[in-house]
A and B are shown apart, each in its own frame.
Chain A
Amino acid sequence: MSATSRQAVLDALRFASPVAVPRPVAASRRPETKDLVELLRESVRAAGGRLVVVDVRSVAALSVAALHGVVPGLEAATHVWSGVASIAARGVGADQSCVKDLAALDFCVLAGDVAVAESGAVWNVPEGPMERAAALLAEHLVLGVPCRGIVGNLHEAYARVDPAASRFGWFVSGPSKTADIEQSLVLGAHGPRQLTLVVVGR
């Protein structure tokens, strides 16, 4: 069935296709003139999250101590997933092989490469499905991005990241949300209820 369906669909398309329309030339993009960190802060707030700036060398150098006071609750949390080398996981062992056990996560701390100032979206490539599940099941998602990873708009972001280089990658902006009941916004639809974006360095 499959082979004949394929042929039938492609034939129908060929038969129906209009004369070729050339690809348009890309429009010129006006670069963002506002201060990118401030614009990003505004966008993250609009998306329901929070932006903090922490002065350490790199995202990899982000430690619990460096986040002291800027991510309340992290120090005392019992269940933490960490995708950042200098923050130890708690309550979830490296041998954790069952996604279902992640449902108790308080925090998930991950590194992002690029943050888009106009929308608050952060590009992240989870280290496998378990980490992706952790980012969805934790109550509070913390994303670290280097200050020089902030770009104005999505065109610039796609020029920097290559989503095709990994099986899965995503832009994440703010905590999970819904407004399906009378258009009233509720944070934490299925995923995290809180998101903190940590901009690292100056």
Chain B
Amino acid sequence: MSHAKRAAAFVADAERTRWHDEALWFVREKRDAAAASVPDWEALRSEAAAIKRHALSRLPELWERFEANAAARGAHVHWARDAADHNAIVLELLRKQGATRVVKSKSMLTEECGLNDHLERHGIDVVDTDLGERIVQLRGEPPSHIVLPAIHLRRHEIGELFVEFMGSEPGCDDPETLTRVARQDLRERFLAAQAGITGVNFVIAETGGFVVCTNEGNADLGTTIPDLHIACVGLEKIIPEMKDLAVFLRLLARSATGQAITTYTSHFHGPQSPDHALHIVVVDNGRSRLLAHDSFAEALACIRCGACMNTCPVYRRSGGHSYGTTVPGPIGSVLEPSRAPARHASLPQACSLCGSCADVCPVKIPLHHQLLAWRSELAEMGVTPRLRKLSLALGGRVMASPTLYRSAGWLVRRCGGRLGAGVLRWLGQPWTHARELPPLPRESFRARFAARRAER
């Protein structure tokens, strides 16, 4: 299904669309204020971009260094080529521990790998502990945003969900009360957990440690109480040195939510105590393939702040689920076609090429250039939607022949905008659903130009 078709389902609820659009724009404004409060913000972005590009050019060396350092600190490093490898490793670790109750904190990587499903199929109960992620987990949906997983939902929907799953008061939709209910429910699950799974924000080659950032403290509770911690990390997350953290952490939360820093920025160097075990699962799953691609390798610099989503006029008005991907929005539209070009071919086409995403990206990924590059790439692969191919071919023909061009212009002017709109509609273009074509001039530009000339 195309992005436009799925978006139609979202925008059918006009009030939700308006709210979604405004709520995300508000986050974007907070980001702007936070960025303006830092002297040298732009220099910081350039530095972050340069450190990432440096790191991406020497991943094998950095990972080997990390592995040696982490092992020296008593952590175990595992390597996974793909999602299946990753899921098998995690399941095996849990089985060895005899763990059937697992708490998990936010990790887009485990979403990408479908870890929850895999573990549940094998009799392991996985609880997402980030409030937003818990909400979408209970609804049986994927997150619709990488930082704000439940941004597509309104409070009354969450209230109804909690009545069903947490026995909250029917009719209650107060965020404070609902958060308390969830806190109580999740606290019991934390206390009963036998293992904690977390994502990772930054891996430090120099020290063999890693950093996890959360606002709720769920990654911390989830790794303090159980004595097994499994951290799942994508190959792109490594940075060379500890001091680089300052650069990225100053950018991350400000870009994400407009906060100066997340509430908890936790640094793990080996298991927390001799009684704890720490396993780090390093996952490729298509990343090395992307790295080999000149036009798209830079997308691996992404630090998953979500700023490009908050600012994107298409994302804000179509909702994260319209992308049909793990990571939605501009960065998702760059990353996901590399996995399944035909399936995600409509994503780069959904972009208006306004460039706002690249303007806010803290690591300066040229997102809209990459989206444009995907359009030609997908055309070469032959997976451009058929109607678009047809209309482009038609347009190309007409533009290439002055005679055809003139007669087409004449025809359209004669029949007026109605024909144009009719043709567009016939071609299945949703462009005219909420728009009128502007009135067409009676004369062509050529005719007017000739007339002006003659007057002189």
Chain B neighbourhood of A16, CB < 8 A: 288-289, 291-292
Chain A neighbourhood of B216, CB < 8 A: 176-178, 189-191
Interface magnitude class on chain B: 35 or more
Chain B neighbourhood of A12, CB < 8 A: 81, 284, 288-289
Q: State the CA gap A165–B181 with chains docked (Å).
A: 38
- Please give the distance in Å from B336's CB to the nearest CB on chain A: 19
Residues of chain B in range 32-83 having any CB-CB distance to chain A below 8 Å: 37-40, 43-44, 46-47, 50-51, 53-54, 56-60, 63-64, 73, 78-81
B269 interface residue (CB < 8 Å to A): yes
Bitwise, A155-177 to B at CB < 8 A (1) or not (0) is 10111001110111111111111
Q: Is the CB of B175 within 8 A of A184?
A: yes
- Please give the distance in Å from A49's CB to the nearest CB on chain B: 10
Chain A neighbourhood of B186, CB < 8 A: 190
Q: Is the CB of A20 within 8 A of B57?
A: yes
A77 interface residue (CB < 8 Å to B): no
Q: Which residue of B lies closest to A32 (CB)?
A: B39
Q: Is the CB of A176 within 8 A of B215?
A: yes
Of A22, A137, A181, the residue contacting B54 (CB under 8 A) is A22
Q: Which residue of B lies closest to A130 (CB)?
A: B224
Of B44, B150, B242, B261, the residue contacting A180 (CB under 8 A) is B150
Interface magnitude class on chain A: 35 or more
Interface 9-residue window, one of A61-69, A79-87, A116-124, A142-150: A116-124
Chain B neighbourhood of A119, CB < 8 A: 250, 260-261
10 sampled A-B residue pairs with Cβ under 8 A: A1-B88, A20-B57, A23-B51, A24-B54, A119-B260, A155-B250, A163-B269, A176-B215, A177-B216, A178-B132
Interface residues of B (CB under 8 A from A): 23, 26-27, 37-40, 43-44, 46-47, 50-51, 53-54, 56-60, 63-64, 73, 78-81, 85, 88-89, 129-132, 135, 148-151, 153-155, 158, 175-176, 178-180, 183, 186-187, 190-191, 204, 206-209, 215-218, 220-221, 224-225, 235, 240, 242-243, 245-247, 249-250, 257, 259-273, 276, 282, 284, 288-289, 291-292, 294, 297
